[in-house]
């Protein structure tokens, strides 16, 4: 499980077909999204990229097994008509830190609201945009608005609309083929093998940080929207443009780019 730099990835993808679509590879829903997207005749080549946040821990090796199952499932469905390229690992913890850690105090004071989860999912999408722009400009994401009736704040309609807007404004397309699939059993049918939600996947130290002790999810939609519109969106656009134009940017350069903008923090 060797992480690659953006420069290394740019070199690797030079020989790939231009219509190659980036597949966000993580847990069960990401695999379902990739397989669902491949039902479209226009999607024939997938480059899966696994990315992590610095808050994740646990069994990372299971990703290889899940990847192999996905490849086998694809071959069973399509033979040689569709291709899933070898799995790539790429993360940028400095980017995550700038987006979700560095300005927590300012965010709380300004919006009276904070969870790292919405910004974390934005990070996962933003991270892959520079790579997607070198290929088909398309990214497949396993976002779902409802999980058997349960709401996740980072997959709320407000959050998903924001991710879509960020991608479009950076000249990419975020494909969310299972956005409206609420039934977990239907997800397993798409995958083609038994895989229960939350299993065979790494864990996050911030898991359920917005869920009460009795399991209730309650958040101020107005505060979330203000956080997205006045912080997360402009931060993602500013950092996204920096990464697209410069490639590898340092922590200091990312922070400076936000300072130069002047209207965020």
Average pLDDT, the chain: 94
pTM: 0.95
Structural domains of the chain, count = 1
Asked whether residue 1 is domain-assigned, the answer is: no
Flag whether pLDDT at 139 surpasses 70: yes
Identify the band that residue 199 occupies on the pLDDT scale cut at 50, 70 and 90.
low
Reported as a single tens digit per residue, the pLDDT across 43-71 is 999 999 999 999 999 989 899 999 999 99
pLDDT of residue 200: 60
Asked whether residue 120 is domain-assigned, the answer is: yes
pLDDT of residue 224: 94
Asked whether residue 71 is domain-assigned, the answer is: yes
Asked whether residue 107 is domain-assigned, the answer is: yes
Flag whether pLDDT at 198 surpasses 80: no
Asked whether residue 147 is domain-assigned, the answer is: yes
Domain that holds residue 50: 6-261
What the block records as the tokens of 225 is 């929207």
| Torsion sign over Cα 129, 132, 138, 140 | negative
CATH value at residue 241: 3.40.50
Mean pLDDT in residue range 64-80: 96
Say if CB 50 and CB 22 are below 8 A apart: no
Asked whether residue 190 is domain-assigned, the answer is: yes
Residue 57's beta-bridge partner residues?
203
Pairing of strands 56-57, 203-204: antiparallel
């Amino acid at each position: 499980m060797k992480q690659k730099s953006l420069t290394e990835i740019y070199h690797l993808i030079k020989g790939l077909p231009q219509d190659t679509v980036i597949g966000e590879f993580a847990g069960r829903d990401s695999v379902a999204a990739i397989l669902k997207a491949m039902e479209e005749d226009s999607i024939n080549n997938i480059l899966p990229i696994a990315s992590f946040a610095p808050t994740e821990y646990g069994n990372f090796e299971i990703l290889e097994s899940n990847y192999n199952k996905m490849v086998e499932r694809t071959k069973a469905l399509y033979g040689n008509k569709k291709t899933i390229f070898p799995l790539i690992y790429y993360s940028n913890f400095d980017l995550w830190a700038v987006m979700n850690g560095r300005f927590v105090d300012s965010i709380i004071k300004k919006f009276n609201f904070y969870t790292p989860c919405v910004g974390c999912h934005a990070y996962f999408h933003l991270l892959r945009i520079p790579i997607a722009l070198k290929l088909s400009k398309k990214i497949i994401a396993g976002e779902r608005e409802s999980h058997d009736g349960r709401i996740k704040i980072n997959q709320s309609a407000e959050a998903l609309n924001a991710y879509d807007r960020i991608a479009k404004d950076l000249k990419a397309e975020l494909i969310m083929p299972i956005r409206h699939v609420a039934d977990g059993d239907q997800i397993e049918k798409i995958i083609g093998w038994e895989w229960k939600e939350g299993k065979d996947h790494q864990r996050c130290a911030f898991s359920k940080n917005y869920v009460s002790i009795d399991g209730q999810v309650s958040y101020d939609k107005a505060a979330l929207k203000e956080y997205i519109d006045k912080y997360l969106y402009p931060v993602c656009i500013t950092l996204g443009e920096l990464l697209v134009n410069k490639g590898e940017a340092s922590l200091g350069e990312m922070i400076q780019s936000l300072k130069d903008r002047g209207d965020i923090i």
